Amino acid sequence: MSQAHHPETWTAICTLRDIVPNTGVCALVDRQQVAVFRIGRGEEVYAIANFDPNSQANVLSRGLVGNLGERLVVASPIYKHHFDLRTGECLEAPEHSVEAYAARVYDGKVWVNMTVMQREAEEELAA
């Protein structure tokens, strides 16, 4: 079994069809709120911390998903800061960036790995 589906590192969040395309949901993983987003009608998913450091509230899963140039982002519903879904970087205030986690779809379910950052997971898959 590959690390991508190892039960100790990956947590099933919900089925893919539970997330409306181009929206997010919030999940509690290891006592941390995670915002999980489904992009388009396919199996493209991303996970970042749900806590918005600009507003001090757990709201990012309720933000609007879109693009700023080449960057796939979610706009916080409170102060409208944009967070890169791949890296967690806050574009308006980089010092308020959030964690980005590996997320993928396997067997119709959305899985999140809280120990692997999104960039590391993409590099692992490319190798």
Domain boundaries, the chain: 3-126
Q: What pLDDT does 117 receive? A: 72
Class of domain 3-126 (CATH, top level): mainly beta
Q: Which two tokens stand for residue 109?
A: 């379910």
Predicted confidence pLDDT, tens digits, the chain (127 residues): 234 445 568 999 999 999 999 999 999 998 999 999 999 999 999 999 999 999 999 999 999 999 999 999 999 999 999 999 999 999 999 999 999 999 999 999 999 999 867 656 555 555 5
pLDDT at 115: 86
Burial letters for 114-123: b for 16+ Cβ neighbours within 10 Å, e otherwise? bebbbeebee
Confidence at residue 5, expressed as pLDDT on a 0 to 100 scale? 46
Dmax over Cα atoms in the chain, in whole Å? 43
With beta carbons less than 8 A apart as the criterion, state whether 83 and 91 touch: yes
Backbone angles phi and psi of 17, in degrees to 5: -70, -10
Alpha-helical regions (H) of 1-127: 118-126
